[in-house]
Structure 1
Amino acid sequence: GTNAHAIIEQSPRPHPAPEPAADADGPNVLLVSAKSPEGLRSLAARYASHLESTGDSLADIAYTSGVGRAHLPHRLAVLGETAEAVREALGSATRGTRHAQLITGEATGEPGRVAFLFTGQGSQYAGMGRELYERYDVAREAMDTCARILDGSLPRPLLPTLLDPARGEVLDRTQYTQPALFTLQYALVRLWESWGVRPDIVIGHSVGEFAAAHTAGVLSLPEALGLLAERARLMQTLPEGGTMASVFADPDTVAEAMAHTEAGTVCVAADNGPSHTVISGHRPAVEETIQALRAQGVRCLSLKVSHAFHSALLDPILDELTAAARTVTHRTPRIPLISNLTGGEIRTTAEMSGDYWSRHARGTVRYRQGAQHLADVDHLVEIGPAPTLLQLTRGCLPGASVKCWLPSLHPKHQAPRQLLMSAAALHTHGLPLDWEAVHRERRPSKVSLPGYPYERRRHWIPRPAPVAPANGHGAGESAGDDALVGTGGPSPLTDTAVFAVEHSATAPALLAGHLVYDTVVVPGAVHIARALAAGVRILRTGPVAAERVEFTQAMSLREGDLRRTHTVVTPDPDHERAWSVRVASSDARGTTGREAEDWTLHARCRLRAADPAADFADPSQEIRNRCPEVVDDSSFYTRFAQHALTYGRDFRWIRRVRRAPGEALALIRPAEPADHLADYRCHPGLLDSLLQLLVFALPEAFGAAEPGQAMVPVAVERVVSYDVPGGELWAHAVAHHGPAGASDGRGDITLRRAGGAPVLRLEGVCLRPAPAATLLGGRDAGERSPAGAGRPAE
């Protein structure tokens, strides 16, 4: 297809960026996603590099990642206050290691069902609503609404009790605790809903069922608050003297211990799980039960409470509570509401009419039975000031396939941090969130972000090999690997694969940019690239290794030359699952190519499949610290020109060189847009640039070559291509120290994506000075091969 663009008029001037919110330096959540795990690691590396170089704020980058990018199946999220902290976590993602601020997940299929779990009394703490109130407009409006409804129902205003960290003593009074918990939970529900997270099922624990019932649509907000305030007032009027205790044993064990006390003095207040029961009642009877259980080795924990809830000590207020409950209207639940009283789902209004709330206050909280309704839920979100029900639910559902167990708030964490962490976890596991709403209070702006690292695969139908016209003027030209290898492939009759192509000084066009002694010379990098391309065609997929690479004779191309070039691949008889590769050429105009003496062998190697990359660590910063000398790009290539090596744009990929004795680090980037990289397994210009960098890393390299003399590669022990290059790339060249006076230079080069993922590695590269007479004289005097059915063969 073709894209056509028309500029109708100048775009409108952007509005001035709004002033950032006062707390815009708080936690940020950066979202990254891709279509595959490999793409996700690559994109994480791009973001890490981007954070190092950009001047944009982290808040703007995080916002744009949420609202300005498609959210693909493989996802990660990073929470952090600073760009450096986020970069560190992204580095872990690139290496495939864990990090405390890194969340990963996969969004496949349906988003999944969400359950809200409403915490009960005992989870409160002083100042539990302050950050929520100050940070989020939706939560503040919700709390203000509740406070207005409760105005006159409490001896003191609700909000100071809920928000002030110094009001803990007042908050622990039942009359204030229960309305405060409801108000906080209502604010959290409203906030989650504004972010796009809505429950499919709700369950509360004891007083938490009031907020659950309102969320399910059973009680209106004024009626739920009014009834709860009356419940709390009535309970506050009861005399003290009761107590409660957590017993880490099953109900049967607890019931046996209770049997030795006076009937009705101790009750099971809550059945929280297979090994967690709460008892409640008269203090002497509860203490007697605890002593009996501890004698059996059962762990017991006394609870700090004002009254013995869910016990016979509440009997004096039940009639008044029933009367108050009968004044409110109950509605059919819009979503499943799980009852503490029965442990089952409430389906009709009749089930909650009359004395339901009295029996609810007096009876056992059957949380263990109710939790069974959560077995097929994907995401559990606790609505309350602290995560208590999540742990109970885990004990009730040991084999559940729940993806997310998430608190809304945590007393040890800042509210924005905990909320963002839980929101990010929901996102990475496929739940759609409204990220515009999540960032609303920060008033951020959209900025530029790294592009997607497409996993480039070639889908073009192979073009026929270029054929010289009958008049001998020029030749056709293919592109990418086709221009290096040509057409051909394995024969159905033999084990040999032959690929044929023709080269001239301008075919492929990039050859015109590689001059040695002012003559076009096909570089060793082209032969490596063609061997790797042939390997991909033979092996089909995965990493490819070329071993024992030798450059036996240079192929020089003068004006009017046309070289018939064959790449011959045969099974290696001495190595299992390996292939022998030879590259040879003959004069396409002066010979038929049918005789052995027509052919010149230019390169040979052994080809095999390689193991996937294992080292994803990012050493770039450590290398930068070791390489303090910064080399200007232009002086880099000027130095090569002084030694008879002239490089055109296709062979100039070196940027931002840093050097120290024996090593060099450089950014690798083509001089022009690199969309054509998809046509190559590895672009010859990129490969040649890596060899250039090694020359620069060898302190003796230019010194060993006489003035005006070229330093060229003659052999490579091993080349491993892990992946098709793309994105931001960094190369690190390390020299091997040889004997004093040696003219050869040796070393290794590693090419990595930003973030550390390896792309290419050359080991045991050997460089040697090459006088013009040796390199160019007698290009047909290289190693000869006996005849072989019109193609070179050893």
Structure 2
Amino acid sequence: MTANTVFMFSGQGSQYYQMGKQLFDADPVFRSWMTRLDDLACRIAGHRIIEAVYAAPKSEVFDAIDYTHAAIFMVEYALAQCLIARAIVPDMTLGSSLGSFAAAAVAGYIEPEDALAAVLEQAAAFAASCERGGMIAILADPSLYEDDFLRRHSTLAAINFSTHFAVSAAHADLAPIEAVLRQRGITYQRLAVSYAFHSARIDLAEEQFAWFMKSIPCASARLPLVCCERGAALKQLSDDYFWRVVRQPIRFREAIASLEGQGRHRYIDVGPSGTLATFVKYALPDASASTAHATLTPYGQDLNNLARLASDAHPRKMEQHG
């Protein structure tokens, strides 16, 4: 049985300086879309995203939301078009948190220009209305969240697989949470985000964003969209979809389980860091015949990863049309 191809799009925390730079320098499709979207972002927000991403040193933490929100969308959408140009075509898309914007644009629910405008507006709403916060990824069974200390000082933000979840918290609570985890010998990582996404701490931004979204049209899509907020595939989007995906918990483990119940899949991570490909590998059942593939990573293998995916796509295409 031929595997369905799923393009997966990650959200805040997956970004880093210089992401996609190899493709920007070498691939005309990727560069063309990045430049086109950058011109639009500059007209809307008054600053260049490409300049911020590629001019800065790689070692610094990249968490300024007025740049990161747009940068993630731009890289993901441009990478998706780069893959499609190489005959690596999705049968469905999957969006996690902010990645839902690119997933919806690639699936045809929303025009990429409208999606970028919405991403920029959402970032502006967060900056205008919300106090700073953060998120911590925790390598442990999600049942650990039932711990009284974690429940009192954070919000469960995501369950990615059986031994990996994330919490959101106020900025003042991040260090105390990390101290408790460290004391207990639990592995954790603070994510490169500047707000407590997927928690009530971003609710003050909802009104501004919802008002803006009334002007953005949504169409009937070409492809199913797997929603990590619902943990299932959708065929149409609710009016508040683009708010819910950043406000409600991420149910990535459930989304993959839902897909695996339908058969074999080829999961291609179209995010900046390859994080979702790693999550899939841990979320797949032992007997699964599905595969997971990273494209961009921080480790300088972008062109090699893309070449491997492209070489795999051509036999599939010949098999389908043979």
Q: TM-score, normalised by structure 1?
A: 0.38
Match of 1:321 in 2: 209
Distance change in 2, residues 1:169/1:157 (3 Å): farther
Aligned CA RMSD, in angstroms, stands at: 2.5
After superposition, the C-alpha distances for 1:453-483 in whole angstroms (9 at most, x for unaligned) are: xxxxxxxxxxxxxxxxxxxxxxxxxxxxxxx
Paired AA for residue 107 in structure 2: A
Distance across 1 between alignment mates of 2:180 and 2:148: 6
Give the number of equivalent residue pairs. Answer: 316
Q: 1:293 to 1:159 in 2, by over 3 A?
A: closer
Q: 5 Å matches for 1:313-712?
A: 313-349=201-237, 352-353=238-239, 355-375=240-260, 376-399=263-286, 401-427=288-314, 430-432=315-317
- Residue 235 of structure 1 is matched in structure 2 by 126
Report SS of the residue matched to 2:300.
coil
Find the structure with the greater CA-based Rg.
1
Work out the CA distance in 1 between the residues paired with 2:59 and 2:219. Answer: 35
Task: Report SS of the residue matched to 1:341.
Answer: coil
Structure 1 258/334 Cα, relative in aligned 2: closer, same or farther at 3 Å?
farther
Structure 2 equivalent of residue 706 of structure 1: none
User: What SS does structure 1 have at the residue aligned with 2:7?
Assistant: strand
* Structure 1 residues 159 and 243, CA gap change in structure 2 (3 angstroms): closer
Q: Does the 8 Å CA contact 1:257/1:293 hold for their aligned counterparts? A: no
CA contact (8 A) 2:9 2:96 kept: yes
Once the two structures are TM-superposed, the CA of residue 400 in structure 1 deviates from its matched residue by 5.1
Matching residue's letter, 2:267: L
DSSP-derived class of the 1:234 partner? helix
Following the alignment from structure 2 to structure 1, what is the Cα–Cα distance between the partners of residues 221 and 287?
25
The separation in 1 between residues aligned to 2:278 and 2:251, in whole angstroms, is 16
Q: Distance in 1 between matches of 2:120 and 2:150?
A: 35
Please list, as runs of the form range in 1=range in 2, the aligned pairs for 1:218-233 lying within 5 A after superposition: 218-233=109-124
Does 2:161 correspond to 1:270?
Answer: no
- Paired residues of 1:189 and 1:383 also in contact (CA < 8 A): yes
Higher strand content, 1 or 2: 1
Which gives a bigger RCO, structure 1 or 2 (Cα 8 Å, sep 6+)? 2
- Deviations 1:201-225, CA, capped at 9 Å, x for gaps: 2112211111001111111112111
Q: 1:301/1:416 Cα in 2 relative to 1: closer, same or farther (>3 Å)?
A: closer
Q: Deviations over 1:21-72 (max 9, x none)?
A: xxxxxxxxxxxxxxxxxxxxxxxxxxxxxxxxxxxxxxxxxxxxxxxxxxxx
Residues 257, 292 of structure 1: 8 Å contact kept: no
Contact 1:146/1:183, CA 8 A, preserved across alignment: yes
Alpha-carbon distance in structure 2 between the residues aligned to 1:260 and 1:150: 38
* The structure with more helix, counted as a fraction of residues: 2
Alignment counterpart, residue 194 of structure 1, candidates 71, 75, 85 = 85
Displacement of 1:166: 3.5
Partners of 1:271 and 1:366 within 8 A in 2:
yes
1:205 matched residue in structure 2: 96
Structure 1 residue ranges, 4+ long, deviating more than 6 angstroms after superposition: none
Amino acid at match of 1:147: D
Q: Distance in 1 between matches of 2:242 and 2:31?
A: 29
- Write the deviation string for residues 357-392 of structure 1: whole angstroms up to 9, x where unpaired: 223222111111111233223321110222100111
Q: How does 1:294-309 map to 2 (within 5 A)?
A: 297-309=185-197
Is this contact kept in 2: 1:250–1:277, CA < 8 A?
yes
Unaligned runs of 5+ in 1: 1-109, 434-794
Q: Tell me how far apart the structure 1 counterparts of residues 279 and 191 of structure 2 sit (CA, whole Å).
A: 17
Instruction: Tell me how far 1:241 sits from its aligned partner.
Output: 4.1
Equivalent-residue separation in structure 1 for 2:208 and 2:60 (angstroms):
27
Give unpaired runs (5+ residues) of structure 2.
none
- Residue number in structure 1 paired with 2:47: 156
Q: What is the CA–CA distance in structure 2 between the aligned matches of 1:134 and 1:247, rounded to whole Å?
A: 35
| SS of aligned partner of 1:338 | strand
For the 8 Å contact 2:2–2:264, the answer to whether it is kept is no
